[in-house]
Amino acid sequence: MVNVVRCFMGRFLKRILFFILLNFLIMITIGIIVHFFHLDRRVMGTDRDGLMTLLSFAAIWGFAGSFISLALSRWIARTLMGIKLIDENTANGSARLVLETVKELAATGGIRMPQVGIFDHDAPNAFATGPTKNRSLVAVSTGLLGRMSNEEIRGVLGHEMSHIFNGDMVTMTLLQGVVNTFSIFFSYLLAFVITRALEGGREKQRGGRSFLFYFLSDLFRIVFMILGMIGIAAYSRWREYRADRGSAELLGPGPMVAALRKLQAIANNSEEKMPDSVKALLIFKERRGMSLFATHPPLERRIQALETGEIYSLSR
């Protein structure tokens, strides 16, 4: 058990470091471009043109990283998760079931066949990613294939394919870009106003921004990003209901209900910790009720919504 935990922590830290490095390189590249075109010299002017320049600067900075990450999402997922694509010529057993189910659902939804892969993890997990509906990836864990029945696997795949049909990856990217943009815009604006009021324009005499300005802008950016995460999490919970509904419409509610009940049974095992590494299906048990930052509704609530038909009102 200790070795499993160490292995998981090693992978987790590697993924975090990779994401930090990737975002650092993206921000450095954007920063060079912004400086090359002298956009940074005009930011924070006092007139309308200055504010529009600041908004443009924030939009470039806020959206660029999100869209670059989206464009590389399949490659990033395959690299970080160690995903092995399923070979149609040699697939058998559960792997064949996954491939055939995704092919069936892709034909039903009228999209190009996604890449389909398996990653090595004991936890039952699955996720979908990709820059567009026709350039997507669906991956399942070895734990999911080993612990779930064919019906339950199909329910999970219906859920993930619904994310693709709904364009959830692009929508989440746009939402993250909007949050980034306004976090940058308002953090700079508030820092500028407060610094100007406290220092009386002395920063202009020094020919640049003061330490106070940069400290406040960073502080406000963190605050606004946290507030933005609450909104993103709320949307994420809604899209999970919508993906559950999609699975029910594609395959009937039975497979998805069965899959959620299996996840619930596993999560209720207090001796086993279930990591939420790819944020695809809620695996762990919510112990303190709904959190504002929870990306998934509680399993009990999702099961109830499917069984009672409430899922259709929740996912509108």
Among 142-151, 170-179, 194-203, the least confident range: 194-203
Q: Given pLDDT bands bounded at 50, 70 and 90, which one contains residue 69? A: confident
Question: Is 160 among the residues known to form the active site?
Answer: yes
Separation of alpha carbons 184 and 210, rounded Å: 18
Mean pLDDT throughout 267-295? 53
Residue 8 has pLDDT above 50, yes or no: no
Q: Given pLDDT bands bounded at 50, 70 and 90, which one contains residue 276? A: very low
Answer whether 132's CB lies under 8 Å from 111's CB.
no
pLDDT score, position 244: 96
Helix or strand (DSSP H, E) at 115: strand 115-119
If you ran DSSP here, which 8-state letter would residue 112 be given? P
pLDDT score, position 304: 94
Total residues found in the chain within this entry: 316
Among 40-54, 160-174, 230-244, 287-301, the least confident range: 40-54
Which span out of 23-27, 209-213, 218-222, 274-278 was modeled with the highest average pLDDT? 218-222
Identity (one letter) of the amino acid at 268?
N
Separation of alpha carbons 284 and 275, rounded Å: 7
Mean pLDDT throughout 97-115? 97
Q: Please state the pTM of the whole predicted model.
A: 0.78
Mean pLDDT throughout 268-288? 45
Torsion of CA 221, 223, 224, 225, to 10 degrees: 80
Arithmetic mean of pLDDT over the chain: 80
Identify the active-site residue in 152, 160, 203, 240.
160
- Continuous H helices in the chain: 2-36, 39-42, 48-71, 73-81, 93-109, 142-147, 150-165, 168-199, 202-205, 211-251, 253-267, 299-308, 311-314
Among 185-194, 254-263, 273-282, 293-302, the least confident range: 273-282
Alpha-carbon separation of residue 43 from 194, 206, 214, 215 (angstroms): 16, 17, 14, 17
